[in-house]
Amino acid sequence: MKTYVPKQGDIEAKWYLVDATGQNLGRLASDIARVLRGKHKAQYTPNDDVGDFVVVTNADKFRVSGKKLTDKTYFRHSGYPGGLRETSLEDLLVKHPERALEKAVRGMLPHSKLGAEQYRKLKVYAGAEHPHAAQQPRDLGDAFPGGQPTGADYEGNGR
């Protein structure tokens, strides 16, 4: 019996739409990363990009629990001595609300060329409008055979 390996021509990338309003940041990011990697498909291959596109709207309206708004910190470094900069989640949501979700999803993808290729399939928008209507994106719940992904049914104490 031979092992089936999908070819690039055999892979059909679908488009999914997610409304992040009221959803938990980490649970939503893990569901999105799973679709970007293609783990929801039967022809999933770890060393190939078989994932789908994901469009996220209302990325500024997700929830976080506890004191993450003030305590969660994002770091970056300029490369120069003393160039370490830090930003809290609260400040990041004011300046660039979509970056918090992008960073959460990026951290769940492989840190390689393959991960960068999969990350490019993520489109995040702070408002309800998006320019991908021509692709006719489906609801993200359609990607999971068991119904809605885990982030949609979680009831936690949010912001």
CATH, residue 27: 3.90.1180.10
Residue 81 lies in a domain: no
- From residue 115, how far is each of 16, 38, 54, 121 by CA, in Å? 19, 12, 15, 10
User: Does a structural domain hold residue 24?
Assistant: yes
CA pseudo-torsion sign 22, 26, 30, 33? positive
pLDDT in tens, 13-72: 999 999 999 999 999 999 999 999 999 998 899 999 999 999 999 999 999 999 999 999
Question: Structurally, how many domains does the chain consist of?
Answer: 1
Which pTM value belongs to this model?
Answer: 0.88
User: Does residue 41 belong to any structural domain of this protein?
Assistant: yes
Paired strand residues for 56: 18, 124
